[in-house]
A and B are shown apart, each in its own frame.
Chain A
Amino acid sequence: MFDPLLHQPVRSKLLSLLISNDELPFKALKESLSVTDGNLSSHLSKLEKEEYVIIEKTFEGKRPKTVVHISPKGKQAFAQYIEALKQFIEEN
């Protein structure tokens, strides 16, 4: 019934943050979600695999920098997930 990828607290919070900010650096997401680097990377790679987010890796001088964007597919999936939550509440 629910998108298993989004029916998880960290990932749904992550997509909410990306929807209200369009894009956020890895560091900002880590701080906002209060998760470790490894934990966030694992969630992001799952979302990237389903093309819900786009991960852009660049270099700022010699320092690597990662910025995460939400994709149109991610936005659509999130909207459908919200609808599914609403429907569940109405039926129960």
Chain B
Amino acid sequence: MNEKEKVLRQIYEIKSHLVDKETFFPYNYNACHVWSTIAVILTLIMIPSYEQGIWLGSAISFVLLAIGFLIEGSLTKKVNQSYDIEACTKRQGFIMKNFLMISLFLLMISAILASEHLYIVIYLSWLFLISLGYFAVGFVLNIRQFSQMAQLNMLTSVLLLLIGYYFDLLRGEDLLFSILIQTMVIFGLALLPSAIAFKLQKEERFTKEACSV
């Protein structure tokens, strides 16, 4: 290898860490599957529970989110311990706070929207804002799949909001439109993230096996 090739390789290695953010990020992608399960449950029970009462709906959503954060926290703690990391890394902290803030806002806005019976707007707010969180994660960790998924979800939610507003369907009285919205939320916040997590887990296993050879 001549000197120029060596220099170019060094630049490539350094760039991949400093610019492309290909950096150390311990994460247990099983947390994504937990969140997907929670997304499905929430999508199916959120509106019936809000119909029973705003406080009940809020309490159920809060409990499910709290379970998600607790499981994610314990999975992250475990994976960090395997690397001798006591507290969370800066990136883990950023992602946790990002989703925590979004969730708190969603809980409040959902209660307000439920009191106005704007159930479709609740679903679309969750789809849009959680995807915004994924968009930030995709950017910070340079995971293109998360960024693309987030953009698709956000565009879908804007489009569905426009259709719902134009045809006066935002109260969820049209069964077909409600089913379409629920399907899109389950697809965007459960199926897609899980599929991406599976792919990333597979890549992680492959890299580990390749490194151990």
Binding site for B on A (CB under 8 A): 7, 9, 12-13, 16-17, 19-22, 24-28, 31-32, 34, 60, 65-67, 82, 85, 88-89, 92
Contacts and interface: CB of A to CB of B under 8 A. Distances in A.
Nearest to B91: A21
- 5 pairs of A and B residues whose beta carbons are closest in the complex: A25-B84, A16-B17, A34-B211, A28-B83, A27-B84
Contacts of B9: 9
Contacts of A27: 82-84
Contact of B90 (A21, A60, A82, A92): A21
Interface in B44-83: 82-83
A21 B17 CA distance: 10
B104 interface: no
B154 to A, nearest CB: 28
A47 B91 CA distance: 26
Given A32-B24, A85-B7, A25 B85 contact: yes
A27 B11 CA distance: 25
A16 B13 contact: yes
Contact of B13 (A12, A22, A67): A12
Nearest to B23: A20
23 contacts: A9-B13, A12-B13, A13-B14, A17-B17, A17-B23, A19-B17, A20-B18, A20-B24, A21-B23, A21-B24, A21-B89, A22-B90, A25-B83, A25-B84, A25-B85, A28-B24, A34-B211, A60-B84, A60-B86, A82-B14, A85-B10, A85-B14, A88-B4
Majority secondary structure, B binding face = helix
Nearest to B21: A20
Nearest to A8: B10
A17 B24 contact: yes
Contacts of A25: 83-85
Which one of A9, A21, A22, A92 has the highest number of Cβ atoms from chain B below 10 Å of its Cβ?
A21
B26 interface: yes
B82 to A, nearest CB: 7
Contacts of A24: 24
B10 A7 contact: yes
B4 to A, nearest CB: 5
Contacts of B82: 27
A88 B7 contact: yes
Contacts of A17: 17, 23-24
B14 A12 contact: yes
Given A7-B6, A28-B26, A85-B7, 13 more contacts: A9-B10, A16-B18, A17-B17, A17-B24, A20-B24, A22-B90, A24-B24, A27-B82, A27-B84, A66-B84, A82-B14, A85-B10, A85-B11
